[in-house]
Amino acid sequence: MKNLKSNIYFKVGIIIFLILILMIPTSMVENLIHEREGVQLTAIQEVSAKWGKGQTVSGPVLSIPFDKYVRKYNKKDSIEELIKLKEWVHFLPETLKITGRIMPEKRYRGIYEVVVYDSKLKIEGNFTDLDFQKLDISSKDVHFDKATLNFGINDLKGIEKQVTVNWNNKNISFNSGTATKEVILSGIHAVVPISTDSITAHSFTTEIDLKGSQYLYFTPVGKTTDVSIRSNWNTPSFTGTYLPDEREISEKGFTSSWNILHLNRNYPQAWTGRTYNIDASSFGTDLLLPVDNYKKSYRVARYAILFLVLTFITFFFVEVMKKVFIHPMHYLLVGIAIIVFYTLLLSISEHIKFNLAYIVASILTISLVSLYTIAILKSKHIGFLLFGILLIMYSFIFTIIQLQDYALLIGSLGMFIILCIIMFYARKIDWYTIKLGK
């Protein structure tokens, strides 16, 4: 047994076995991070469901019903019948201008922050060239008296007051729902008077006070679409199909503007039926919280095997070079301390900023491992040496998670340097004759 205790290959095998065993609680920590992230998402959804979900304002779309006649062969009577069907033709505006202001605020569900907002939107534009002949529709088959102006709104709960539209200088109230689900599934509509003259222009102006959470998107349905948004939120993310042509972000908030042409999207100004989907072209602004501690915690947890391997290698080299013996149980306890670091980091970061949480959790873990080393080896020199090595290692990982774009490069270079140091100190060791302990 004494020979087995001092056998270097047996010790290496034990170390590898312990690392593999410790990867089990490491995976449990990663699952815990995902679970807590899921709880956060549930909290966001609960607040959003009561306040208003993320909003996408689509339209306006002018939808007009018409009669379509199709021939159908009746096998029973051996005759052709003329069947009348009701279909819809959809027109998009010639010009569309949207100006808006977003007033966000933070709400809390337990320990979780949720971004909600009030917004004031002014939407104006005009419809021209309602040419039915281009779509092979006869004017006599069109029900002009049932023309509707439709706006898409994801969550109607977010509408704060009655919405009216000034249509050709006439105020008309909107009703809930859309006249047809062919273009817009959820929204509001208003029955508007349409001239039978296809060259007559129809102008519109409306204002919508809309509540929502997380994001506000729009669809570029105008032949020319101009959108201008301003807010006092200073961490926006511009996403969707189009990025702003102009944007300015400061500590006081942001302003952004888009100019989009009908040539930039994959649907025309007029069509019939369910031919096209306008939602795929949406764009807008996400109101991001400055820090996502769960994603950062998960990134740190991915380096768990690196922490374990480097710490155990340090212990192993101490054994080899200082001629001391460290029991596998000591390795196991130190490994558990390293795993507990991730739960400390996760729990502390839910209450304070992530960077500060990382520093606190790191100092606690490094101090615990160093003091434990001093206690078992009766050597302050080795304890302080291990403290310095762990401090460098934790600082290195902290640097990596701050550099998202260069994380792989810096990580690869760091690993290369660590390997060089290990090979430098291992170059003169005679691995065939060495025995652990004195």
Whether 193 contacts 32, CB under 8 Å? no
Q: What is the pLDDT of residue 125?
A: 94
The pLDDT of 304-315, averaged and rounded, is 83
- Give dist(CA 335, CA 367) in Å, integer: 14
Residue of 292, 285, 282, 284 lying closest to 236 (CA atoms): 285
Q: What is the band of 62 on the pLDDT scale with cuts at 50, 70, 90?
A: very high
Q: What is the band of 5 on the pLDDT scale with cuts at 50, 70, 90?
A: low
Q: Which of 135-139, 311-315, 337-341 is the most confident on average?
A: 337-341
SS3 38: helix
Q: What is the pLDDT of residue 4?
A: 56
Average confidence score pLDDT of the chain: 84
Q: What is the band of 433 on the pLDDT scale with cuts at 50, 70, 90?
A: low
Using a 10 angstrom Cβ sphere, with 0-12 exposed, 13-18 middle and 19 or more buried, the burial of residue 330 is middle
Residue of 90, 25, 101, 29 lying closest to 64 (CA atoms): 90
The pLDDT of 221-246, averaged and rounded, is 92
Residue 422 has pLDDT above 80, yes or no: no
Q: What is the pLDDT of residue 190?
A: 94
Rounded to 5 degrees, φ, ψ at 156 are: -65, -15
Q: What is the pLDDT of residue 395?
A: 86
Of residues 8 and 52, the one with the higher pLDDT is 52
Q: What is the band of 227 on the pLDDT scale with cuts at 50, 70, 90?
A: very high
Q: What is the pLDDT of residue 205?
A: 95
Residue of 279, 223, 242, 266 lying closest to 96 (CA atoms): 223
Of residues 192 and 421, the one with the higher pLDDT is 192
The pLDDT of 297-321, averaged and rounded, is 81
Q: How far is CA 9 from CA 44, 272, 305, in A?
A: 53, 77, 21
What single string gives the DSSP state of each residue in 243-275? --SEEEEETTEEEEEEEEEGGGSSS-SEEETT-
Share above pLDDT 70 across residues of the chain, in percent, rounded to a whole number: 90
The pLDDT of 352-356, averaged and rounded, is 86
Q: CA angle at residue 20 from 19 to 24, to 5 degrees?
A: 105
Q: What is the pLDDT of residue 405?
A: 66
Q: What is the band of 78 on the pLDDT scale with cuts at 50, 70, 90?
A: low
Q: What is the pLDDT of residues 317-331, one digit of tens each?
A: 777 777 777 788 888
Residue 263 has pLDDT above 60, yes or no: yes
- CB under 8 Å to 105, separation ≥6 — which residues? 115, 116, 117
The pLDDT of 393-418, averaged and rounded, is 76
Q: What is the band of 198 on the pLDDT scale with cuts at 50, 70, 90?
A: low
- Give dist(CA 291, CA 294) in Å, integer: 9
Q: How far is CA 375 from CA 13, 191, 363, in A?
A: 25, 83, 18
Q: What is the pLDDT of residue 201?
A: 83
Whether pTM > 0.75 for this model: the answer is no
Residue 1 has pLDDT above 80, yes or no: no
Q: What is the band of 126 on the pLDDT scale with cuts at 50, 70, 90?
A: very high
The pLDDT of 5-31, averaged and rounded, is 81
Tell me which DSSP letter residue 174 carries. Answer: -
Q: What is the pLDDT of residue 85?
A: 81
Bridge partners for 67 per DSSP = 86
Q: What is the band of 70 on the pLDDT scale with cuts at 50, 70, 90?
A: confident
- CB under 8 Å to 71, separation ≥6 — which residues? 80, 81, 82, 83
Residue of 92, 91, 114 lying closest to 42 (CA atoms): 114
Q: What is the band of 404 on the pLDDT scale with cuts at 50, 70, 90?
A: low
Whether 348 contacts 357, CB under 8 Å? yes
Q: What is the pLDDT of residue 203?
A: 93
The pLDDT of 168-176, averaged and rounded, is 92
